């Protein structure tokens, strides 16, 4: 079994981030991730960066990226520096893939979803074995999979504690570039968090298991990994987070006070006075912020 990673970020000034996909407007669920990561960063005197994860054009909604930025502004969630757009980073993604392919640390795969289902849903590495054996069925196009030698299976989350995923999931050679030519989230998120010098990733619990894959990629690339802090997800029914896909309502940009206090309460924090500006509200929220009172639950049910 692979050794657990020791996350070591000696004396790096704190840099946090919020990384929305522009697939719809900011809703209460994404406000929690934005506010949680903002409060954590600001309460530690750190920077808070924004990255728009716009590398999946079929899922993108026109105007959503700007709309998200305007909503953050309306809520007083001011970020540092320029916004990074993943669509501007594709050369970096491709050059890292090319390097892995050249070093036999990645390989092409054309296995269908149906075939992978017949393997039990976890890819069994057959295209890698074929390429090593220089077999006649080696393919040089299709999806690109990582040769997952790191197989990170566990890590310590700064809120949820020790996290351990199933061995087959941890060991899978997962996709880093899709067969439709789009870069996979796992690859882009790691290269960008490293590029932006993120020291702690704060986001929703839906991505907690993905952190193991991301840690495997940090090891493969020899990059310093961030720490992790996964927040509870707002769910309408168990197992279904509020999301753009299930048409969660956009947060109200005209009257941010009520939603801000609802998001603070969701995170177990004390409410703040609503008589001043959003900037004053956030200042108070930062001063009162306590990590230890955030519920250590993957999901919290909310009223529709
Ligand atoms: N872009 C992802 C989303 O909107 C979040 C990615 C991350 O925080 O790592 O769900």
Q: What is the pLDDT of residues 108-137, one digit of tens each?
A: 999 999 999 999 999 999 999 999 888 787
Cβ count within 10 A of residue 245:
11
Which stretch of 179-188, 238-247, 287-296 has the lowest confidence by average pLDDT?
A: 238-247
| Ligand 1 pocket member 32 (CB < 6 A) | no
pLDDT tops 70 at residue 105 = yes
Q: What is the pLDDT of residue 85?
A: 98
**Collapsed DSSP state (helix, strand, coil) of residue 56:** coil
Is-contact 132 108, C-beta < 8 A? no
Choosing among 3.40.50.620, 3.40.50.300, 3.30.1540.20, 3.30.70.270, the CATH entry for 15-104+186-301 is 3.40.50.620
Convert the pLDDT of each residue in 200-220 to its tens digit. 999 999 999 999 999 999 999
- The residue among 178, 226, 232, 229 whose CA lies nearest residue 202 is 229
What average pLDDT does the structure give for the chain?
A: 94
For residues 150 and 258, what is the distance between their CA atoms, to the nearest angstrom? 45
Query: Is the model more confident about 12 or about 229?
Result: 229
Count Cα atoms within 13 angstroms, Cβ side, for 240.
Answer: 10
Q: For a pocket test of ligand 1, which of 20, 51, 188, 225 has the largest count of ligand atoms closer than 8 A to its C-beta? A: 20
Which stretch of 15-19, 46-50, 281-285, 300-304 has the lowest confidence by average pLDDT?
A: 300-304
For residues 190 and 213, what is the distance between their CA atoms, to the nearest angstrom? 10
Convert the pLDDT of each residue in 231-266 to its tens digit. 999 999 898 898 877 778 999 999 999 999 999 999
Nearest atom of ligand 1 to the alpha carbon of 189: 9
For residues 264 and 258, what is the distance between their CA atoms, to the nearest angstrom? 10
Q: What is the pLDDT of residue 125?
A: 96
Q: What is the pLDDT of residue 304?
A: 77
Q: What is the pLDDT of residue 6?
A: 41
Q: What is the pLDDT of residue 3?
A: 39
pLDDT tops 70 at residue 72 = yes
pLDDT bin (cut points 50, 70, 90) of residue 10 is low
Q: For a pocket test of ligand 1, which of 41, 207, 214, 246 has the largest count of ligand atoms closer than 8 A to its C-beta? A: 207
Angstrom distances, CA of residue 258 to CA of 15, 26, 252, 272, 275? 28, 15, 9, 10, 11
Q: What is the pLDDT of residue 7?
A: 44
Q: What is the pLDDT of residue 136?
A: 80
| 283 Cβ contact partners less than 8 Å away, ≥ 6 residues apart | none
- Once rounded to an integer, what is the mean pLDDT over residues 54-60? 96
Which stretch of 73-82, 188-197, 236-245 has the lowest confidence by average pLDDT?
A: 236-245
Angstrom distances, CA of residue 242 to CA of 20, 114, 265? 14, 29, 17
Quote the ligand 1 centre to 53 CA distance (angstroms): 7
Q: For a pocket test of ligand 1, which of 60, 203, 244, 245 has the largest count of ligand atoms closer than 8 A to its C-beta? A: 203
Q: What is the pLDDT of residue 243?
A: 84
For residues 155 and 244, what is the distance between their CA atoms, to the nearest angstrom? 29
The separation between CA 79 and the C-alpha centre of its own chain, rounded to angstroms, equals: 18
- Once rounded to an integer, what is the mean pLDDT over residues 64-79? 98
Q: What is the pLDDT of residue 91?
A: 98
Is-contact 261 18, C-beta < 8 A? no
């Amino acid at each position: 079994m692979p050794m657990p990673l020791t996350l070591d970020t000696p004396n790096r000034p704190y840099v946090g981030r919020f990384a929305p996909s522009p697939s719809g407007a900011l809703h209460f669920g994404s406000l929690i991730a934005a506010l949680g990561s903002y409060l954590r960063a600001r309460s530690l005197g750190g920077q808070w960066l924004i990255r728009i994860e716009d590398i999946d054009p079929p899922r993108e909604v026109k105007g959503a990226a700007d709309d998200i930025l305007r909503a953050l502004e309306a809520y007083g969630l001011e970020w540092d520096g320029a916004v990074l757009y993943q669509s501007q980073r594709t050369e970096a993604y491709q050059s890292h893939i090319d390097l892995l392919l050249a070093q036999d640390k990645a390989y092409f795969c054309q296995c269908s979803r149906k075939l992978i289902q017949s393997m039990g849903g976890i890819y069994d590495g057959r295209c890698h074995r074929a390429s090593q054996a220089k077999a006649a069925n080696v393919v040089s196009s299709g999806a690109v999979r990582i040769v997952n030698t790191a197989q990170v299976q566990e890590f310590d989350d700064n809120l949820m504690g020790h996290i351990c995923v199933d061995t087959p999931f941890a060991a899978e050679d997962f996709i880093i570039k899709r067969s439709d030519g789009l870069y996979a989230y796992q690859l882009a998120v790691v290269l960008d968090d490293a590029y932006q010098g993120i020291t702690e990733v704060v986001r929703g619990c839906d991505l907690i298991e993905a952190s193991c894959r991301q840690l495997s990629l940090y090891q493969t690339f020899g990059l310093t990994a961030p720490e992790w802090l996964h927040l509870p997800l707002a769910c309408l029914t168990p197992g279904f987070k509020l999301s753009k896909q299930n048409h969660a309502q956009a947060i109200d940009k005209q009257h941010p006070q009520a939603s801000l206090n609802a998001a603070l309460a969701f995170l177990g924090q004390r409410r703040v006075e609503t008589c001043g500006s959003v900037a004053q509200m956030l200042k108070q929220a930062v001063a009162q912020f306590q990590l230890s009172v955030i519920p250590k639950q993957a999901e919290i049910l909310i009223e529709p």
